[in-house]
Amino acid sequence: MTFDELYQRAKAVINPRRLSEMAEAGGVGAALLAEDGMVYTGVCIDTACSMGFCAEHAAAATMVTAGGSRVLKMIAVDWDGGILPPCGRCREFISQLHTDNLDAEVMVAENTVLPLRELLPYDWKK
């Protein structure tokens, strides 16, 4: 699967909306290509007290629920279509789900793909 296809999958789940006075969702979509060949998607949930989570977390949770843990490729897209690099929390979270996830290809900007390990210099787990 190409990053163009993953981009389209991530963009397709974007649906910005207010859930309540204190929560919004869907402004960012993510798509993960897992080792089993499945693509898992998710959206961000933003809450007033910062207890929400990123789209990458939602996609990874769906993957784990389905029995997987190994990510081959990942991308996140905002509502304007811009590619977003994963935040530090997402980088660390994905890296801990499977040892080989440090080799996952991450699109961090248009035409820029890096292995997750390059986004986690000085990894504390070593």
Enzyme catalytic residues = 56
Q: Which of 67, 4, 3, 75 is nearest to 36 (CA)?
A: 67
SS3 58: helix
User: What is the three-class DSSP state of 34?
Assistant: strand
Q: How far apart are the first and last CA of the chain?
A: 31
φ, ψ of residue 34 to 5 degrees: the values are -95, 165
